[in-house]
Amino acid sequence: MTHVTERFFITTAISYPNGVPHLGHAYELMASDAIARFMRLDGRDVFFLTGTDEHGLKMAQTAEREGLTPIQLADRNAAAFRAMGKALDSTNDDFIRTTEPRHYAASQAIWRRMEANGDIYLSKYSGWYSVRDEAFFDEKELTTGEGGKRFAPSGAPVEWVEEESYFFRLSAYQDKLLALYASQPDYIGPESRRNEVVSFVERGLEDLSISRKTFTWGIPVPGDEKHVMYVWVDALTNYITAAGFPDEQAPRWKYWPASVHIIGKDIVRFHAVIWPAMLMSAGLPLPKRVFGHGFLTNRGEKMSKSLGNVLDPIAMSQQYGLDAFRYFFLREIPFGADGSYSHEAIVGRLNADLANDLGNLAQRSLSMVNKNCEAKVPPRHALTGDEDTLLASAYALAAGGRRHMDSFALHAILNDIWKVVGDTNRYFAAQAPWALRKTDPARMETVLWTTAEVLRVIGLVAQPFIPIAAGKLLDLLAVPVDRRMFAHAVPDQALVPGTVLPAPMALFPRYVEPETAGEGA
């Protein structure tokens, strides 16, 4: 209690809302939410941010196609992303939209600071552009047809275009970035991404085009309103906008620098190269870590509209239950790696881990308490080595979780927790309290107390991952809401015999296929 509360600022990437949220967005949000919850339960002062990135050509084009103005489209889809957060019970403290006035102010302010530092200059951006692909291509990627005409890999014709653009002197930051990666080995995670970024930067950096004159749906460049900022400055700046920038007296500025940016593996480079360089240029502190998670596939197939395997995360969370939905993705997929999901796999996890192992463990033990111990926490008599071992492994979960969290190994935390769940089922079966009831009631009480106490600790440490069920479990154990931090996962806070307990109830229903459920009502 003598130490200052540590702050923890976690962000997701901001989503591009030219469509509705899909499972990938939900995955990133759920994982980030679990980390945020973990840190809060571990006593940190957490600021958890998510939001939408609403500018750019694609938004403008999509809006036009739908007969809307860009801001109308943005309003509509940002609402859908917010709704997803709500449906997933995300605990983000703020939801930033890049079309908000505060973000215009922040983006223009960081632009001016980079400019004042001599890192922004006006020049010409040129290259082979394919209108059909909406993209520039490197000379090496092109094929040459008759008459010297060039074509993109897609077969679309390309033309040489030159465009006036502001540039950021990214090349000047190569050495500083390499020094950053060297001095902070965990700056980029997982390690495979770090290696890629390092080798990318080692190959040399070019200056970066950071404005556009070809569209207007963006934040005006200060002092030259013919230009709007291109995605880099606009999008990345959201993280400091939400912290109050440029007002360094703002209440939330204390949270900057961010503890971690949780992002998809496709945008690691932007966060690990461009963003820190921008911040260096602006004289601002750098985020501590950047972590790129993997992509999800449906049975190994990429999700795509044409394959018809794009699933609605809100519908899925309702189908399986929010906790089960979260649990599956966080447990099944090593965080940072790609992962595949299927209905069968989700149901398997739900039934095996949640309903059978944990849910049934709570049910079988607490119903015995209810029937044989007057629905009170039973007395705890002398403990044997079996109890000591089991309890010790439970009390070790919080510390072990912290260790895994250092590398955002969410799956490993869950693995450890369920190891204890399994041990507890084995303990329960080996002790057979239903037999002890007749032969040695005191011993039965000790077994039931021990099981309940282990469940208390499991409930505490499982809260970030299955918040609803963990809360229910702690309710069943009559754990006061102000004793549910990780700091309480210790022997000193153990269940007090005699405490009145509510009637047991199921934590997780088994998932039964609707087809086989009955007469199809």
> Which residues between 305 and 334 bind RNA (CB under 7 A)?
332, 334
Rule CB under 7 A: say whether 231 interacts with RNA. yes
Rule CB under 7 A: say whether 359 interacts with RNA. yes
Identify the CA nearest to 475 among candidates 493, 490, 456, 488: 456
Q: What b/e string do you get for 167-198 counting C-beta neighbours within 10 Å, with b at 16 or more?
A: bbbbebbbeebeebbeeeebbbbbeebbebbb
Identity of the amino acid at 81: F
Strands of the 296-298 sheet, one edge to the other: 301-302, 296-298, 339-341
Rule CB under 7 A: say whether 455 interacts with RNA. no
State the minimum distance, in angstroms, from the CB of residue 368 to RNA: 4
Write down how long the chain is.
521
Which residue, 126 or 384, is less far from RNA as judged by CB?
A: 126
Rule CB under 7 A: say whether 365 interacts with RNA. yes
Binding mask 49-78 for RNA (x = CB under 7 A): ----x--xxx--------------------
State the minimum distance, in angstroms, from the CB of residue 138 to RNA: 6
- What are the C-alpha distances in Å from 308 to residues 140, 304, 312? 35, 6, 11
Strands of the 208-209 sheet, one edge to the other: 135-137, 120-130, 159-168, 208-209
Q: Binders of RNA among 381-410, rule CB under 7 A?
A: none
State the minimum distance, in angstroms, from the CB of residue 67 to RNA: 21
Q: Which listed range, 69-77, 116-124, 189-197, 485-493, lies at the site for RNA (CB under 7 A)? A: 189-197
Rule CB under 7 A: say whether 235 interacts with RNA. yes
State the minimum distance, in angstroms, from the CB of residue 410 to RNA: 14
268 with 200: CB under 8 angstroms? no
Number of other CB atoms surrounding residue 285 within 10 Å = 11
Q: What is the largest CA-CA distance in the chain?
A: 97
State the minimum distance, in angstroms, from the CB of residue 313 to RNA: 16
State the minimum distance, in angstroms, from the CB of residue 448 to RNA: 10
State the minimum distance, in angstroms, from the CB of residue 292 to RNA: 9
Which residue, 136 or 151, is less far from RNA as judged by CB?
A: 136
**Alpha carbon distance 396, 378 (integer Å):** 24
Which residue, 42 or 412, is less far from RNA as judged by CB?
A: 412
SS3 content of the chain, % helix, strand, coil (to 5): 50, 15, 30
Q: Binders of RNA among 206-225, rule CB under 7 A?
A: 206-210
Among 61, 216, 319, 356, binds RNA (CB under 7 A): 356
Size of the site for RNA (CB under 7 A): 74
**Alpha carbon distance 82, 77 (integer Å):** 9
**Alpha carbon distance 500, 311 (integer Å):** 44
Binding mask 236-255 for RNA (x = CB under 7 A): x-------------------
507 with 362: CB under 8 angstroms? yes
Q: Binders of RNA among 272-311, rule CB under 7 A?
A: 273
Q: Binders of RNA among 122-151, rule CB under 7 A?
A: 125, 134-136, 138
Among 39, 260, 280, 368, binds RNA (CB under 7 A): 368
Which residue, 447 or 489, is less far from RNA as judged by CB?
A: 447
Among 195, 214, 318, 384, binds RNA (CB under 7 A): 195
Rule CB under 7 A: say whether 200 interacts with RNA. yes
Q: Binders of RNA among 95-124, rule CB under 7 A?
A: none
Determine the distance from the C-alpha atom of residue 43 to the mean position of all C-alpha atoms in its chain, rounded to a whole number: 19
Q: Binders of RNA among 167-186, rule CB under 7 A?
A: 170-171
Rule CB under 7 A: say whether 24 interacts with RNA. no
State the minimum distance, in angstroms, from the CB of residue 169 to RNA: 11
Identify the CA nearest to 8 among candidates 60, 55, 43, 34: 43
State the minimum distance, in angstroms, from the CB of residue 498 to RNA: 21
State the minimum distance, in angstroms, from the CB of residue 6 to RNA: 27
**Alpha carbon distance 44, 36 (integer Å):** 9
Retrieve residue 387's tokens: 């109890």
**Alpha carbon distance 182, 179 (integer Å):** 5
State the minimum distance, in angstroms, from the CB of residue 380 to RNA: 19
Beta strand spans in 67-191 (E): 94-97, 120-130, 135-137, 143-144, 150-151, 159-168, 188-189
3-class DSSP string for 349-382: HHHHHHHHHHHHHHHHHHHHHHHHCCCECCCCCC
Retrieve residue 172's tokens: 């000047």
**Alpha carbon distance 18, 393 (integer Å):** 48
Cα torsion for 474, 475, 481, 487, to the nearest 10°? -10
Rule CB under 7 A: say whether 447 interacts with RNA. no
Rule CB under 7 A: say whether 357 interacts with RNA. yes
Which residue, 7 or 213, is less far from RNA as judged by CB?
A: 213
Identity of the amino acid at 203: R
394 with 420: CB under 8 angstroms? yes
Which residue's entry shows tokens 């919850």? 37
Q: Binders of RNA among 423-442, rule CB under 7 A?
A: 425-426, 428-430, 432-435
Q: Binders of RNA among 4-23, rule CB under 7 A?
A: 13-16, 18
State the minimum distance, in angstroms, from the CB of residue 251 to RNA: 25
Rule CB under 7 A: say whether 232 interacts with RNA. yes
Q: Which listed range, 179-187, 313-321, 479-487, 508-516, lies at the site for RNA (CB under 7 A)? A: 508-516
